[in-house]
Every structure is written in C-alpha cells, then in structure tokens.
C-alpha cells in the first residue's frame, strides 16, 4: 500500500486534474466522503457538530463536510479559525453554506464564545491545517487547541490532525489529538510515523475520485508492507531441487551465557527454508545449542589463551564462508576483543550478503569505519537503542526521526537498514522504504530480534533481494507475533512460539 508525502500528494492531485477532474470537484468529493464516514460510524441527526476550518483547502474540505452533515440533520457550526478563506475554491465552498442551516462564527472576532460551543459539541471536525502544514501552530490558536483537548467530544481530523507535519509525523507545538482521521485517497507519512501516528487515532482512507491506476502510477518511496511482499519471497520449490538449491547460510552467533540467541536464530533460519545452515559457535556452548537444534551442521570455534580464534577454527570458518550464499553474525556474539576481530574479518572477507544483528551492530557502532570494507551487501537490524549507538545520539531522538535516520544511515553506509520497534522500517540504500504494521507489544521480549535476524538471513541465503527479504520477514515476524498473542496472550507468548507459527503462515501464502 502506497504512502505519500505532501509533495507526492500534490503531484497526484495535479495528475488527476490533468485527467479531467477539477480541484473543486476533488474538494467536494473529499468533504462529502468525510461526512459519509462520520454518518456511517455515529448518529448525526440532531447532534451538535463543530467544524474548525482554516483558511486553506483543508478548511474548504471542512466547509463541504459541514454542508453535508447539516443535510443529514446535524446542528452544525463552522468556526473560521483564521478568518475568511484564503484560496479561491475554499471561498467558493464557504459561499455554498449560505442558505443552509450551518451557522458560522469567526474565532478571531469572538474567541470567548468558542469554549462553551466546543464543550457542548458531540463531535468536533478538525479542518484547520492539512498536508502543507509546517512549523508550529501560531500562539493565537493555542487557547483553541487547549479547549479542544479538554473536550469530551469525538474529534475527527480531515487528512491529518492539525499541528502534525505530514512528511515526518513530527509535532513542534500544539496539536489536535484526533479519535479518527479521515485520509483522502491514500495514507500519508504522518499516519504511520511517531509521534504523529498517536495523534491520528484510527485512520480511515476514503476515495475522492482519483483512480487506483493514477495512485499506482504515482512514484513514492514509502509503502506499507502487505502480504504480497512476503508472497514474493516464498517461491514454489521445483521437484528436481535439492538442499543446495536453497542456499547455504553461515550463522556466527552465540557466546558463553548467550546460547539461546544461537538457538533462536538457527531455528528461525531453518524454519524459513534455507537448504543448509551451518552454526559457528564456541565449543563451550555446542552441547546446549545442538541439543535444541539438531538440523544444522556445526563449526566449532576454539579460542587461544589470549581470546583470539585458533588458526584451525578461523580457516574452517572462512572456508565455509567462501561457499555460503549469506552470513548472519551478531546474535548473542558478545563484544570481546575476539568478537571485534571476528566481525571485522567477516566484513572484509565475505562476498555474500551479511545480516548483522545485536552485538554485531554494537561492535560496528564503536568501529563504524569497518562498514567501508564490506565487499557484499549488508543488512543491519538495530533496535532503537542500537540505532542510537550507531548515530551517537539517544533513543528519544531516534524515535522522533525514525524514517529520516534510517534513510540517511542506509544511504551513507550503503546498507539495507531494518530499524525495529513499533512500525519497523526497512530501507534500501537508495531510500525505498517499507513500514510494517503487523506485530504487537507481546513481541517486546529478548529473543524476538534473534528470530527476525534468522528469518531474514534464511531468505537472503535463498537468493531473495535484501530489501524484499527484510520487509517480507518483518511482516511475517509481526504476523506470527499476532497469531501468538491471540492464542497465548501478549504476556505469555515467547519468541520460540513465533517460530512455531511460521508454518501456518507459509501454508496460507503457498495456497
């Protein structure tokens, strides 16, 4: 599903106008669709509805919605929050209110009457600012926004809650917090990016007369991940194939005290179809891991008294790496000097794609220049804390700029970036991004990331392109988490349970 920023939305509307529909008709359709949305979900006959209209085209949408709601029997008051309409088509829609039952008041002239008016409203429609809003709400509107926040009325925003910046989801001052947001034609960035997402409430996308073909032709660099991305990864298996047909994955994971990370990542990789999985791990944890996962082959790593790998262990590791179609490194690896040396060696040596997770990321964060030595494609899967270490910032800053930071890091370091968390983002070095909406807070447990890393590495080993593997596996990982939450509860579900849900998801895709 495409997600558009402000400029892309304007280009889409321009193309629609070139095809024969007018801006005035688009505004009429938008306002009417918003009124239908409200009527479908709530009783409107004899209800008190206040429509807050700015001077731009978002306000024009509000005028149309007000007229249609009045025709449905609602008692509607339009509040001109910034005075008279400032665009020609918004002015035309405002004039159409003449002769209807809609009352209009000017906030700038009589601000004192607005508070009791809003307090008695059943519904408040926010049509103050649209996708073009930037910066912060002017101070003279602060009292209005404060009153809206205190009201018990259901708040419905048109396109985007006023105060949210469309492209980033950022909020720099006062903002309307909506219960529902009615988005026209497509989702916008702010509907999916925090903190704007929280202020949007439940988002509904409504058509306004722009065809699906036009939307499909509109270029965009952000999409919501859907099942078709996962379906593109899971390809039919040929009858004459063998294990060599489905990739050779090397997993360099685990350390003393962190055997579970190796178990979970290896199990997930095998469950996702890799033909041969080789788990390279310290000899000390081999009995633990091998007793839990019997399908892989194992490369046992022995260390010298100084902590470095023995010559034989390094030769064996690099030998299998040279024959691998992907390598996963980092899950439970630790940050010892030997681990630093290992990550450095693998980055500089591997010609196959590398999936780097957990301690692999933490090591790179302290030695960022080693990314320049990578010979093959690199996929990195940080959670917000690890991303903060990579960027030398804090988690709050990362969370406030998730898409921006993921894109900039991916481009600067030529990696595919998977920034995990609520609304995991997968971004290619070229900037194409998928935002995931599957998953739930029950997945916020140690080990979930190991499962995801193993899944991605498995599909990359099978030849799936890095961005497709990243986005598709994030989607399936979230779906598995949702199935577990339904059956086991968010509290009790475990990362290992998610691996157990993958077969039924693959069956659904294969059908």
Q: Are 391 and 409 in contact (CB under 8 A)?
A: yes
Q: pLDDT value at position 379?
A: 98
Percent of the chain scoring above 70 in pLDDT? 100
pLDDT at 235 over 90: no
Paired residues of 433 in beta bridges: 222, 427
CB atoms within 10 A of CB 349: 17
pLDDT at 429 over 90: yes
pLDDT at 446 over 90: yes
Average confidence (pLDDT) over 195-220: 95
Q: How confident is the model at residue 311 (pLDDT cuts 50, 70, 90)?
A: very high
Q: pLDDT value at position 511?
A: 83
Question: Per residue, what are the HEC states of 373-434?
Answer: HCCCCEEECCCHHHHHHHHCCCHHHHHHCHHHHHHHHHHHHCCEEEECCCCCEEECCCCCEE
pLDDT at 510 over 90: no
CA atoms within a 13 Å half-sphere pointing along the CA-CB vector of 328: 39
Q: What is the DSSP letter of 236?
A: P
Average confidence (pLDDT) over 60-65: 98
d(CA 220, CA 235): 26
Q: How confident is the model at residue 420 (pLDDT cuts 50, 70, 90)?
A: very high
**pTM of this prediction?**
0.90
Q: What is the DSSP letter of 246?
A: G
Q: pLDDT value at position 400?
A: 87
Q: pLDDT value at position 388?
A: 98
Q: How confident is the model at residue 46 (pLDDT cuts 50, 70, 90)?
A: very high
What is the end-to-end Cα distance of the chain in Å, rounded?
A: 22
C-alpha pair distances (Å), 420 with each of 185, 409, 432, 455: 28, 14, 16, 14
Range with the lowest mean pLDDT among 55-69, 176-190, 305-319, 483-497? 305-319
Paired residues of 248 in beta bridges: 276
Q: How confident is the model at residue 424 (pLDDT cuts 50, 70, 90)?
A: very high
d(CA 74, CA 274): 60
Q: 398: which 2 tokens?
A: 């990362």
- Output the furthest CA–CA distance in the chain (Å, rounded): 91
- The tens digit of pLDDT for each residue in 143-173 reads 999 999 999 999 999 999 999 999 999 999 9
Q: pLDDT value at position 151?
A: 95
Q: Are 58 and 87 in contact (CB under 8 A)?
A: no
d(CA 102, CA 225): 42
Of 398, 391, 1, nearest in space to 189 by CA? 1
Average confidence (pLDDT) over 115-139: 96
Q: How confident is the model at residue 1 (pLDDT cuts 50, 70, 90)?
A: confident
Q: pLDDT value at position 207?
A: 97
Q: pLDDT value at position 295?
A: 97
Q: 206: which 2 tokens?
A: 């409504």
CB atoms within 10 A of CB 292: 15
Q: How confident is the model at residue 307 (pLDDT cuts 50, 70, 90)?
A: confident
- 369: helix, strand or coil: helix
Q: What is the DSSP letter of 171?
A: B
- The tens digit of pLDDT for each residue in 336-385 reads 999 999 999 999 999 999 999 999 999 999 999 999 999 999 999 999 99
Asked whether the bond before 195 is cis by omega within 30 degrees of 0, the reply is yes
- The tens digit of pLDDT for each residue in 449-491 reads 999 999 999 999 999 999 999 999 999 999 999 999 999 999 9
Rg of the chain taking only CA atoms, in angstroms: 27
Contacts of 88 (CB under 8 A, 6+ apart): none
- The tens digit of pLDDT for each residue in 251-280 reads 999 999 999 999 999 999 999 999 999 999
Q: 264: which 2 tokens?
A: 């979970």
- 300: helix, strand or coil: strand
Q: 249: which 2 tokens?
A: 């994955």
pLDDT at 310 over 90: yes
């Amino acid at each position: 599903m495409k997600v558009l920023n402000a400029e892309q939305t304007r280009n889409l509307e321009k193309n629609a106008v070139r095809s024969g529909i007018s801006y005035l008709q688009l505004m009429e359709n938008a306002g009417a669709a918003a009124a239908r949305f409200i009527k479908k979900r709530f009783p409107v006959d004899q209800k008190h509805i206040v429509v807050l209209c700015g001077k731009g085209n978002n306000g024009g949408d509000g005028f149309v919605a007000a007229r249609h709601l009045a025709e449905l029997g609602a008692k509607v008051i339009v509040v001109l929050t910034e005075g008279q309409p400032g665009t020609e088509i918004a002015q035309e829609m405002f004039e159409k209110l003449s002769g209807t039952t809609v009352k209009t008041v000017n906030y700038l002239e009589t601000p004192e009457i607005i508070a009791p008016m809003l307090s008695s409203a059943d519904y408040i429609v926010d049509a103050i600012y649209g996708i073009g809003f930037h910066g912060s709400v002017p101070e003279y509107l602060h009292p209005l926004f404060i009153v809206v926040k205190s009201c018990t009325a259901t708040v419905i925003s048109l396109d985007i809650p006023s105060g949210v910046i469309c492209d980033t989801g950022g909020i720099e001052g006062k903002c309307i917090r909506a219960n529902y947001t009615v988005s026209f034609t497509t989702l916008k960035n702010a509907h999916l990016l925090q903190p704007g997402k929280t202020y949007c409430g439940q988002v509904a996308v409504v058509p306004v007369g722009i065809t699906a073909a036009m939307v499909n032709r509109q270029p965009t660099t952000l999409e919501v991940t859907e099942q078709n991305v996962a379906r593109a990864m899971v390809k039919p298996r040929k009858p004459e194939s063998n294990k060599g047909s489905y990739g050779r994955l090397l997993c360099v994971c685990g350390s003393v005290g962190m055997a579970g990370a190796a178990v979970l990542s290896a199990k997930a990789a095998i469950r996702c179809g890799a033909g041969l999985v080789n788990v390279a791990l310290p000899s000390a944890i081999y009995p633990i891991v091998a007793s839990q996962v019997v399908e892989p082959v194992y490369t046992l790593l022995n260390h010298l008294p100084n902590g470095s790998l023995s010559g034989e262990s390094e030769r064996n590791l690099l030998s299998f790496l040279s024959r691998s179609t992907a390598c996963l490194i980092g899950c439970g690896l630790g940050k010892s000097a030997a681990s630093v040396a290992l990550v450095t060696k693998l980055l500089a040596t591997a010609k196959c794609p590398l999936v780097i997770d957990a301690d692999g990321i933490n090591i790179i964060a302290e030695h960022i220049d080693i990314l320049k030595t990578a010979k093959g494609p690199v996929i990195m899967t940080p959670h917000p804390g690890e991303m903060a270490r990579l960027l030398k910032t804090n988690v709050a800053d990362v969370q406030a700029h998730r898409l921006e930071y993921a894109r900039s890091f991916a481009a600067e370091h030529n990696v595919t970036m998977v920034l995990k968390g609520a609304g995991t983002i997968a971004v290619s070095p070229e900037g194409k991004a998928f935002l995931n909406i599957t998953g739930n807070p029950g997945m916020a447990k140690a080990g979930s990331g190991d499962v995801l890393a193993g899944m991605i590495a498995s599909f990359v080993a099978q030849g799936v392109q890095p961005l497709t593997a990243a986005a598709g596996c994030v989607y399936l990982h979230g779906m598995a988490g949702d199935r577990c939450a339904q059956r086991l509860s968010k509290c009790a579900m475990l990362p290992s349970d998610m691996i157990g849900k993958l077969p039924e998801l693959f069956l659904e895709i294969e059908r």
